[in-house]
């Protein structure tokens, strides 16, 4: 068995594990440990002169420590037995993905909306977005949820699986470390613009291929849903994907907007500060509660076709 084939089996097992148990609370989550390391180095290095150089050092230190640590524990488990090593890798890969968690996050906003509780829907949305949610109406709550589900299809599912196929649990965990670095220090503000530069740019790099493949997979998966606007989605994605502040998040977001026939983007407020984002998609229909469930369907279809794509690529190669 080749290592890519072995990694594919690990991925499939990790997906099943994630779908069954999600994010288990009884086990230590590796990302929490990575986050603590980033916090420690941020406090130690993000000061004084040469912050951009220190940011590159941060990126190198976190990724190298992550790779060596994960590689070592997988190796030691494998020395105990083949199955112990495989089981550990399955768990570690499953900890980098969030299929069940993303589904639940979207549904937890959609359910109170269907029941007519805007207050609870706003509260649930505040758990998954950074924007202010206290005064949002139904369409804006739906927009925030749909954008989150679409964007995180890459960050939370397809990108870590892509890197897991290439390098197993160590590379998948490096991806998650880079993603965590970006979420913690990759801000364009006075404190992090220089120090977080390397982390933000490297996060863009590791997501570049998975984001574009995911958008295509979403479009292919939409064939089983006749209500989706496939022709519109194709045009919208080519036209609007580059309008997103992220060079990668715009691809799944524009594809989702196009398939649903809605318009995403617009005005968001963060702690009272207004941010006006470019609009993505054609408003063929108003944003409604049912679009949350439909965006979840697009997410599931996207990662399923993505797995089929990776499996087919492995067979051909």
- CA neighbor of 218 nearest in space, from 158, 303, 106: 303
Residue 40: count of CB within 10 angstroms of its CB: 10
3-state secondary structure of 264: strand
Q: How far is CA 32 from CA 23, 36, 95, 173, 272, in A?
A: 12, 6, 11, 12, 29
Model confidence at 4, pLDDT cuts 50, 70, 90, reads confident
Q: How far is CA 68 from CA 7, 105, 124, 169, in A?
A: 18, 33, 37, 11
Whether the per-residue pLDDT at 265 is higher than 80: the answer is yes
Task: Please write the tens of the pLDDT for every residue from 31-43.
Answer: 999 999 999 999 9
Q: What residues are paired with 247 via a beta bridge?
A: none
pLDDT at residue number 1: 66
Whether the per-residue pLDDT at 23 is higher than 90: the answer is no
Whether the per-residue pLDDT at 275 is higher than 80: the answer is yes
**Tally of residues, the chain:** 317
H/E element holding 279? strand 273-280
Both tokens assigned to 222: 């939409």
Q: How far is CA 3 from CA 95, 99, 314, 316, in A?
A: 21, 24, 11, 15
CA dihedral (249, 250, 253, 255) positive or negative: negative
Contacts of 174 (CB under 8 A, 6+ apart): 63, 66, 67, 70, 163, 167
Q: What residues are paired with 269 via a beta bridge?
A: 274
CA distance 310 to 312: 5
CA distance 240 to 10: 36
pTM: 0.94
pLDDT at residue number 271: 85
pLDDT at residue number 10: 96
pLDDT at residue number 29: 82
Residue 64: count of CB within 10 angstroms of its CB: 12
Give the residue extent of every domain in the chain.
3-316
**DSSP result, 115-169:** TT-HHHHHHHHHTT-SS--TT--HHHHHHHHHHHHHHHHIIIIIHHHHHHHHHHH
CB 55 within 8 A of CB 197: yes
Q: What residues are paired with 275 via a beta bridge?
A: 268
Residue 189: count of CB within 10 angstroms of its CB: 7
CA distance 140 to 218: 23
CB 224 within 8 A of CB 193: no
Both tokens assigned to 236: 């919208």
Task: Please write the tens of the pLDDT for every residue from 149-206.
Answer: 999 999 999 999 999 999 999 999 999 999 999 999 998 888 999 999 999 999 999 9
CB 280 within 8 A of CB 243: yes
């Amino acid at each position: 068995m080749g290592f890519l084939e072995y990694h594919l089996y690990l991925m499939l097992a990790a997906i099943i594990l994630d779908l069954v148990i999600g994010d288990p609370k009884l086990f230590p989550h590796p990302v929490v440990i990575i986050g603590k390391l980033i916090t420690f180095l941020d406090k130690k290095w993000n000061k004084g002169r040469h912050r951009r150089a220190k940011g590159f050092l941060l990126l190198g230190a976190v990724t190298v420590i992550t790779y060596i640590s994960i590689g070592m524990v997988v190796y030691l488990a494998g020395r105990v037995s083949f199955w112990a090593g495989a089981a550990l890798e399955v768990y570690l890969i499953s900890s980098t993905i969030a299929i069940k968690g993303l589904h639940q996050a979207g549904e937890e906003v959609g359910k109170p909306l269907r029941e007519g509780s805007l207050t609870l829907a706003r509260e649930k949305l505040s758990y998954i977005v950074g924007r202010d949610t206290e005064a949002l109406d139904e369409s804006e709550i739906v927009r925030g949820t749909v954008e989150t589900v679409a964007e995180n299809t890459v960050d939370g599912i397809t990108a870590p699986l892509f890197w897991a196929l290439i390098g197993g649990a160590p590379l998948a965990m490096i991806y998650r470390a880079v993603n965590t670095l970006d979420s913690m220090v990759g801000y364009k503000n006075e404190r992090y613009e220089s120090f977080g530069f390397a982390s933000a740019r490297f996060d863009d790099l590791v997501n570049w291929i998975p984001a574009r493949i995911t958008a295509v997979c979403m479009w292919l998966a939409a064939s089983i849903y006749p209500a989706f606007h496939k022709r519109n989605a194709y045009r919208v994605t080519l036209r609007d994907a580059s309008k997103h502040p992220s060079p990668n998040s715009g691809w799944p977001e524009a594809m989702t907007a196009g398939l649903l026939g809605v318009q995403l983007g617009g005005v968001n407020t963060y702690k009272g500060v207004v941010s006006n984002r470019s609009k993505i998609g054609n408003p063929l229909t108003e944003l409604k509660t049912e679009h949350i469930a439909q965006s979840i369907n697009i997410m599931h279809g996207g990662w399923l076709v993505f797995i089929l794509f990776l499996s087919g690529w492995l067979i051909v190669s």
